[in-house]
């Protein structure tokens, strides 16, 4: 039986050759999970100190490259507006960046 050539391109990255169909299924499931979460967030709001955490990893790596903290600001008049902040390296454990209350202050 000839060997299947399985390749995937995730979010504009270069093509990645996969060895098994299970690896391809995992890539598709990852994209589906991300779409499910972002769609759910668009249809709901977070109450009080609630926040959603999303870890972004490189394919094949189990260590998060980035961690996204999603918070909602009820007092804002802007619809579908958002902001992103990058935590300076070495300051991850400070109150402002390391706690839900601190992230709300940002």
Query: Average pLDDT of each block of 10 consecutive residues along the chain (106 residues)?
Result: 85 84 90 86 74 78 83 67 73 86 82
Question: Encoding tokens for residue 4?
Answer: 């299947």
**Sign of the CA dihedral 5, 24, 39, 76?**
negative
Give first-to-last CA distance, the chain, whole Å: 58
Q: Give the position of tokens 């996204």.
A: 68
pLDDT at residue number 78 = 63
C-alpha count within 13 angstroms, C-beta hemisphere, residue 41:
17
Q: What was the pLDDT predicted at 6?
A: 93
Angle value at C-alpha 37, between 53 and 76, nearest 5 degrees = 70
The pair of structure tokens assigned to 49 is 């100190």
Global pTM exceeds 0.75: no
């Amino acid at each position: 039986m000839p060997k299947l050539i399985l390749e995937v391109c995730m979010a504009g990255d270069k093509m990645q050759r996969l060895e098994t169909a299970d690896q391809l299924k995992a890539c598709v499931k990852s994209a589906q999970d991300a779409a499910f979460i972002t769609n759910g967030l668009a249809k709901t709001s977070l109450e009080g100190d609630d926040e959603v955490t999303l870890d972004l990893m490189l394919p094949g790596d189990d260590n998060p490259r980035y961690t996204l903290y999603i918070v909602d600001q009820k007092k804002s008049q802007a619809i579908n507006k958002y902001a992103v902040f990058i935590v300076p390296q070495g300051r991850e454990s400070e109150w402002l960046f390391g706690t839900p209350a601190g992230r709300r202050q940002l």
